[in-house]
Chains A and B, each alone.
Chain A
């Protein structure tokens, strides 16, 4: 194995580790969003402010979709 091949292998290995780590972090962000959604629902039960609640929940779902999209893009591109 010549130095160029070794460098290429190292780069590919580095990207693979980065990809796995990044996907794990994205999963954690998704979990965090799930917690936020539950907390919003819970807080809205404690003090009901119906005007804003749908927007807040919709924004959480929007972020959740972003996380899923990023997850897919990361898995495909990298």
Chain B
């Protein structure tokens, strides 16, 4: 078991589930100091029983966020601006990779359009400009295509949702110039549900997640998130474990 696993196992309160920490022994003083410096504080509001077990399992499965990952439990290389010292990211989410299929296909088509025009130029009665104008226009066209693809990619990349042991954070990034960051404390979350509506969401395993908050606060809506059942399971575990999803 790695050192990181050890840290989480040591500091996660697991009264019933002793499996992850049975083989862990932190005997040396150095190890204990390291644990105190870097380990998360056990959330005091953690529900006992199933929720405790589930969170322990989750913390023992630390994951390095892949470059294009849409779902990562316990990412070790993600942090956010307003993160507190004793706050830990449990879940990092983006929209499913499959939602990018549209703009990727469009980009592919746009890339081959000039080539197609070149090969079929004899069949076209288009005005053919001078060579020096073509030498300027074609690179400019490809520059615009690259910008189109890049803008879509960073829109997907920076549209993220974070679930920590204290709150839920929704980061929206649209049309390059629109940023919207919303967050709510887990204590204010009343219910969480998911919906997979349609053929593609069921084939590729993504769906809509609704997190309802107390009172007049706005609900959190996440579209096209991967593994919605797992997300709901985790959030329910954090807010009190009214029901559990056992895959």
Chain A positions near chain B (C-beta within 8 angstroms): 15, 18, 22, 26, 29, 32-33, 35-36, 39-40, 42-43, 45-52, 56, 59-60, 63, 66-67, 70, 73-74, 77-78
Contacts and interface: CB of A to CB of B under 8 A. Distances in A.
A30 B78 CA distance: 30
Given A35-B176, A36-B150, A78-B132, A47 B158 contact: yes
A76 B180 CA distance: 43
Interface of B: 65, 67, 77-81, 132-133, 135-136, 139-140, 143-144, 146-147, 150-151, 154, 157-158, 160, 162, 171, 173, 176-177, 179, 181
25 contacts: A22-B136, A33-B147, A35-B176, A36-B176, A39-B154, A39-B173, A43-B179, A46-B181, A47-B78, A47-B79, A47-B171, A48-B78, A48-B79, A51-B65, A51-B67, A51-B77, A52-B67, A63-B146, A63-B147, A66-B143, A66-B146, A67-B143, A74-B136, A77-B136, A78-B132
B233 to A, nearest CB: 23
Given A26-B140, A51-B65, A77-B136, 11 more contacts: A15-B133, A22-B136, A22-B140, A36-B151, A36-B154, A39-B173, A39-B176, A48-B81, A56-B157, A63-B150, A70-B139
A51 B136 CA distance: 35
A15 B131 CA distance: 13
B31 to A, nearest CB: 27
Contact of A40 (B65, B132, B154, B160): B154
A29 B135 contact: no
Contacts of A45: 81
A74 B133 CA distance: 9
A29 B143 contact: yes
Given A73-B136, A78-B133, A56 B143 contact: no
Contacts of A51: 65, 67, 77
A49 B77 contact: yes
B162 A47 contact: yes
Contacts of B80: 46-48
Contacts of A18: 133
A35 B177 CA distance: 8
A40 B77 CA distance: 17
A50 B154 CA distance: 14
Given A22-B136, A77-B132, A78-B136, A70 B143 contact: yes
A36 B176 CA distance: 7
